[in-house]
Structure 1
Amino acid sequence: MSAKPANPYYTGPVSDHFDGKRFFNPEGVEPGGVRDLIKWRTNGQRARWPKRVNHATGPASPKDRIGGEDLRVTMVGHATLLIQVAGLNILTDPVWSKRVSPFSFAGPKRVIEPGIAFDDLPPIDIVLVTHNHYDHLDLATLARLEAEHAPHIITPLGNDTIIHRALPDAKISAVDWGDRLDYWDDVTIDAEPCHHWSARGLRDRRMALWAAFVITTPAGKIYHIGDTGFHDGVNYRAAAEKHGSFRLAGLPIGAYEPRWFMKGQHQNPAEAVAGFGLCKASHAVGHHFGTFQLTDEAIEAPVADLAEALSAARIDPGRFRPLRPGEAFDVPE
């Protein structure tokens, strides 16, 4: 009987971010271990979130397509954004499930309904899955999207194996940092580094890659990060050096407390504002907050902390908007 592979998701050559078994952040910080996890979970500092939050304006009903110089982003919830640009409809880290967990009966539960009802989605062309944590890679939602829209799924190395096992007929492109896809007229998608990690269970830590994406379109460039630690701004500077500047950046602003445990993997709003400047983006949308309670901060803390950071940096708050579910942002040219 042949031995099981050391990595069940990916086999490939050693690189500056893959040691032959696990991926890693060059000169980065590994996530905390079991002792740190227990210390955090028993610190008694977890804020109480409401069990239910109502929509301010109700779910959105997006247009089928947006072209020309227009660029619209609609918040679904957490890290799920509908990006409409250049006639394409792109979903990031789609999650319509009620929980982000390996279990249907336990784990972080949605406190606000999706900002777009699943049946109201326009035709979905592309799905970007940034990494395999359950609040970003939701197989139940991907199965619904495959059945209804058959989109082209783009995801970092190893995550394609996870998705293919559940959806053998799905069209999936697996990408490494630095890879570029150009299947679409006048649109390219690059996979770029971010500082994070991956796991679906207890024994597969860092066995699938994580990534940010740059979408280059005739209407401008979009820099999207699902999750990241600030990492001294290294990856923000590299993105600006390689791609120039961005019309829009989609940046995570939530799941950051306590800092001693989260700092390496989740930036806080002040760091997101610093990254916004470093990557030379004209506008940004904040996501990864207010939908599932993953960490200790209060539900409104990311929005308040973002406002404070923007004020301290003397940046017009209209340039960096924390979108609520159902809220759409027509990005200025």
Structure 2
Amino acid sequence: MPKNPYYSGPRSNHFDGTYFFNPDGAAPLGFRHLLKWRFGDKTNQPWPEHAESPYKNAKPDAKLPEDTLRLTMVGHASFFIQMGGLNILTDPVWSERTSPFSFMGPKRRNKPGIDFDDLPQIDIVLITHNHYDHMDLATLKRLHEAHAPLLVTPLGNDTIIHNKIQDMNIKTGDWDDVIEFEETKFHFEPCHHWSARGTRDRRMALWAAFVIEHAKTKIYHIGDTGFHDGINYRAASEKHGAFDLAILPIGAYEPRWFMKDQHQNPFEAAKGFKLCNAKRAAGHHFGTFNLTNESIEQPVKHLKEALELENIDNDLFRPMRPGEVWDIL
């Protein structure tokens, strides 16, 4: 077995031949720090066993016109995007747990905002990285069997998926690559994160953000990221100009000593929203799976405070709940 079982390719400014890394950034803290967090940190806030969304489950239209942009929240980092006449899913998770095991691990606290059987034909699935709360192989298998979509993901993740779903149609890309589907472009962009499915494969598959571009419409979608001094936000704006929508993580950020480098908090997300020159933002990565120490509603509370500090209208940056539908264009 090769040292990296997922990917072998040329070295780059973010791949050393075995491991991917964040240029001028930080690697995730190690196992000793993980144990310190799990067993030594006493700041963990309790979550309810079940959290009801204020929105009813959405029943999406089969297709929308090309000049329409509609966003529907499924839960956590899973969105249903209708744009450019396409139906797109990001990091889809319909499973009850985000774990290698069906009987243990973070459990879903609210039901998906769209019933799986109510999904219209899915054209594209975007997978930002291989953590279990973003790459759920059971859901991907269901999607493949029901819709046979094209899956777009960063380098190395195709190996993981094909081990489970051999004939899934997958295209991979490195940062700065572009994949075109019909008249829509999917740009792979850097974000400050990491990857792992177990204890021995850390940083062996790439992570990425995406810019989705159709005609004059652009979305900047980030599944997970540390703020990284705003470097990637500035770079995205310089490269792509203004965005109609940014989809930004606002949860899984406490305690800061452990999470800061890999998970931005709502105050950093608000700064990133301004730096990337987006007109609107959808907040995600909160309220569905209890992954870190903050309470279930703390990200929403902190986002409201952050928007006030940054003088951003609440209607422009929404923390989206399962079943919520937002017509952007």
Where on the TM-score scale, by shorter chain, does this alignment land: which range?
Answer: over 0.9
Structure 1 Cα separation of the partners of residues 37 and 53 of structure 2: 31
CA distance in 1, matches of 2:30, 2:325: 39
Contact 2:129 2:195 in 1 (8 A): yes
Instruction: Tell me by how many angstroms 1:199 deviates.
Output: 0.3
Deviations 1:105-143 (A, max 9, x none): 100000000000000011100000000000000000000
Letter in 1 for 2:134: H
**Rounded Cα–Cα distance in structure 1 between residues aligned with 2:221 and 2:64:** 19
CA contact (8 A) 1:24 1:197 kept: yes
- CA drift of 1:69 comes to 2.5
* In structure 1, C-alpha distance between the alignment counterparts of 2:181 and 2:126, rounded to whole Å: 14
Contact in 2 for aligned 1:180/1:191 (Cα 8 Å): yes
Query: RMSD value over aligned CA atoms?
Result: 0.8
SS in structure 1 opposite 2:279? strand
Give yes or no for the alignment of 1:103 onto 2:101: yes
- Corresponding position of 1:248: 245
* Aligned-partner SS, 1:298: coil
Poorly superposed stretches of 4+, deviation over 3 Å: none
Retained in 2: the 8 A contact 1:214–1:224? Answer: yes
Where 1:261 maps in the other structure, the secondary structure is helix
TM-superposed CA distance for 1:170, in Å, is 0.7
- Where structure 2 has 5 or more consecutive residues not aligned to the other structure, the ranges are none
Distance 1:219 1:304 in 2: 34
Residue aligned with 1:246, SS: coil
TM-aligned CA distance change 1:175 to 1:152, over 3 Å? same
What corresponds to 2:195 in structure 1? 198
Mapping for residues 131-280 of structure 1, pairs under 5 Å: 131-185=129-183, 187-218=184-215, 220-280=217-277
Give the match for residue 328 of structure 1: 325
Contact 1:93–1:127 (Cα < 8 Å) also in 2: yes
State the 1:296 CA deviation: 0.1
Q: Scaled by the length of structure 1, what TM-score is found? A: 0.97
SS for the counterpart of 2:211 is strand
Query: Alpha-carbon deviations, 1:250-285, whole Å to 9, x = none?
Result: 000000000010000000001001000010000010
Q: Deviations over 1:123-179 (max 9, x none)?
A: 100000000000000000000000000000000000010011111111000110010
Shift of 1:45: 1.4
Worse overlay, 74-83 or 29-38:
29-38
Q: d(CA) in 1 for partners of 2:295 and 2:104?
A: 21
Answer yes or no: is the 8 Å Cα contact 2:253–2:260 preserved in 1. yes
**Cα distance in structure 1, aligned partners of 2:260 and 2:239:** 26
Distance 1:219 1:82 in 2: 20
2:125 is aligned with 1:120? no
Deviation at 1:65, TM superposition (A): 1.1
Q: Is the 8 Å Cα contact of residues 220 and 246 (structure 1) preserved in structure 2?
A: yes
- Separation in 2, partners of 1:169, 1:279: 37
Taking the aligned partners of 1:266 and 1:64, their CA distance within structure 2 comes to 34
SS of 2:186's partner is strand
1:58 alignment counterpart: 56
Native 8 Å contact 1:31 1:264 kept in 2: yes
Match of 2:289 in 1: 292
1:66 alignment partner AA: L
Look up the SS of the partner of 1:177 in the other structure. Answer: coil
CA positional deviation for 1:219: 5.3
Q: How many angstroms apart in 1 are the aligned matches of 2:85 and 2:230?
A: 32
Answer whether contact 1:131 1:211 (CA < 8 A) is retained: yes
Encode CA deviations 1:213-240: one digit per residue, 9 max, x unaligned: 0000125100000000000000000100
Q: Residues 69 and 219 of structure 1 are in contact (CA less than 8 Å); yes or no, is this contact kept in structure 2?
A: no
Partner of 1:302: 299
Q: Counterpart of 2:280 in 1: which secondary structure?
A: strand
